Amino acid sequence: MARRDAALRAMRDHDISQRRGCALVGVDPKTVRRERSADNPDIRKEMGEIAEKWRRFGYRRIGILLGREGITMNHKKLYRLYREEGLSVRAGGATAATSRSRPGRSSAS
């Protein structure tokens, strides 16, 4: 996204062609021509509601639940939105190891 913006800025500020601006920045011209679709705020809201209700669900499970509601999208976009919304599941804490011996086993070898 940053290189695309840099190419557009070079084209605008220095009055150069799209081909030259893209070559200067090192980005494919098709990337510059393509208009990025806006992220639907309704999807973000729905993802947030599901993640709030089911805190332990990851992006895959949330994607399945969104699909059941008729909202389908590419898994890469789903993961990007999931990260941008800060919905990632936190890893569980480490459990403390106990020092007592197991029943039925002797500690001497």
Task: Return per-residue pLDDT of the chain as tens, 109 residues.
Answer: 688 889 999 999 999 999 999 999 999 999 888 887 777 788 889 888 888 888 888 889 999 999 999 988 889 988 988 888 888 766 666 666 666 666 666 666 5
Q: CA-CA distance, 53 to 64, in Å (whole number)?
A: 15
pTM over 0.85: no
- Do 45 and 29 share a structural domain? no
- Do 52 and 28 share a structural domain? no
- Do 80 and 45 share a structural domain? yes
- The single-letter code of the amino acid at 67 is G
Report pLDDT for 98. Answer: 63
Q: Name the nearest CA neighbour of 63 among 52, 79, 49.
A: 79
What does the block give as tokens for 63?
Answer: 């994607």
Report pLDDT for 36. Answer: 72
- Do 79 and 48 share a structural domain? yes
- Residue-range definition of the domain harbouring residue 27: 2-33
11-48 exposure pattern, b = at least 16 Cβ within 10 A, e = fewer: beeeeeeeeebbeebebeeeebeeeeeeeeeebeebbe
Is residue 72, in this structure, part of any structural domain at all? yes
φ and ψ of 81, to 5 deg: -65, -40
Is residue 106, in this structure, part of any structural domain at all? no
Report pLDDT for 67. Answer: 92
Number of domains in the chain: 2
